[in-house]
A and B are shown apart, each in its own frame.
Chain A
Amino acid sequence: MRNILVFVLFAAMVCWMMFSPIYKHVLIARQAVLQQETDYLLEVGASGSYGYIDSAMMEQSRERLAAFGMQPELVRFEVTADNGLAATDPASPLPRGTGIMLRMSYPYENLFQIDRLIGLDPVSPDSRMRTFGLKMSEYMP
């Protein structure tokens, strides 16, 4: 009888301990993948042959993220230049010396729902993980 009582008392916590590391790991992995994608897009976009990050690059990036199990339509990109020019136009690449700022974000979805088992308020599924980077363009006409 006492064993059953102990089990019932600890069931939620045991469940949380068994499964929450997996959710936390998915969270860390997603953030890392998003950061890696930010770094990659900046590396390509700021290189000598481009000087911009256009929608075709973003589309390819969404496809790569989808391969990691993320939902491509939820990924959000924000590309700006430090001198205020458009950074997404292949027809007018940013010249050398201009910084390209890329911000990417993705919702947390339901990764924190499991924390309700131990009485924590989960982070809202709509709030977003964010990654960012600023790299100087190398493009020379």
Chain B
Amino acid sequence: MYKLMLIILMMTVWLSVHFLQTDEEMAMKLLYQGKHALNRAAHAASQQLDPAAMAEGILRIDPDAAERAAAAYLQANLQLDAQGNPLPNSPVRERVNVLVFDVINDDHTFPYTYRSEQYDYEATLQRPGVVLIIHVVYPRAFTLLEPIEWDIKGVSELTVR
């Protein structure tokens, strides 16, 4: 009888370890996906040149257009609706919050060092750019893991050739 108990015990242990590993691998994948979505959103936002300023030879980002572009790219890359709630085929299950959206425009002197004490983030920009921080919660399948949440941070500069 003790062998039966041992088999059941070992199966439980083995299965838990297996689930834990699968969950951790999936979490890593989601983190990368979130980071890529954020990079693309920041990149799209930082390319929104203000045409009026451009006509005067000034490179300036249009903050409203930048915010719209960032939202659109974040929504497309993480499959979210306009409020940031996940659509049915989204890799996330909880709302994605935009914590920081800062446009660093030509009213600063470059190189400019952006610092955020709250989110422990620092970046040096050579040109006007956009700083974006989002909060993503991993939908863990098994409660073996502690909740996994990230503040994903990124910055993108205006690209001019």
**Which of B25-33, B52-60, B142-150 touches A?**
B25-33
Tell me whether B22 and A99 are in contact (CB under 8 A): no
B contact patch SS: helix
| CA of A20 to CA of B11, assembled, Å | 13
Please tell me if A32 contacts chain B, counting CB pairs below 8 Å. Answer: yes
Tell me whether A28 and B40 are in contact (CB under 8 A): no
Q: Which of A13, A32, A97, A138 contacts B29 (CB 8 A)?
A: A32
Q: Return B10 CB to nearest CB of chain A, in Å.
A: 9
Tell me whether A48 and B44 are in contact (CB under 8 A): no
Please tell me if A61 contacts chain B, counting CB pairs below 8 Å. Answer: no
For residues 60 through 101 of chain A, which have their beta carbon under 8 Å from a beta carbon of chain B? 96-97, 99, 101
Please tell me if B82 contacts chain A, counting CB pairs below 8 Å. Answer: no
- Which residues on A sit within 8 Å (CB–CB) of B69? 136
Q: Which of B14, B18, B47, B76 contacts A97 (CB 8 A)?
A: B47
- Which residues on A sit within 8 Å (CB–CB) of B32? 35
Tell me whether B3 and A48 are in contact (CB under 8 A): no
| CA of A68 to CA of B137, assembled, Å | 30
A-B contact count (CB 8 A): 63
- Which residues on A sit within 8 Å (CB–CB) of B22? 21, 24, 28
Tell me whether B47 and A21 are in contact (CB under 8 A): no
| CA of A130 to CA of B33, assembled, Å | 13
Tell me whether A17 and B43 are in contact (CB under 8 A): no
Please tell me if B21 contacts chain A, counting CB pairs below 8 Å. Answer: yes
Closest to A137 in B: B47
Also in contact, A17 and B15, with CB within 8 A (given A28-B22, A133-B36, A138-B159): yes
Tell me whether B29 and A3 are in contact (CB under 8 A): no
Tell me whether A3 and B3 are in contact (CB under 8 A): yes
Tell me whether A136 and B40 are in contact (CB under 8 A): yes
| CA of A129 to CA of B69, assembled, Å | 28
Also in contact, A99 and B44, with CB within 8 A (given A48-B159, A136-B69, A140-B161): yes
| CA of A96 to CA of B7, assembled, Å | 62
Q: Return A71 CB to nearest CB of chain B, in Å.
A: 22
Chain B positions within 8 Å of A, measured between CB atoms, are: 3-4, 7, 11, 14-15, 18, 21-22, 25-26, 29, 32-33, 36, 40, 43-44, 47, 69, 72-73, 76-77, 79, 89, 159, 161
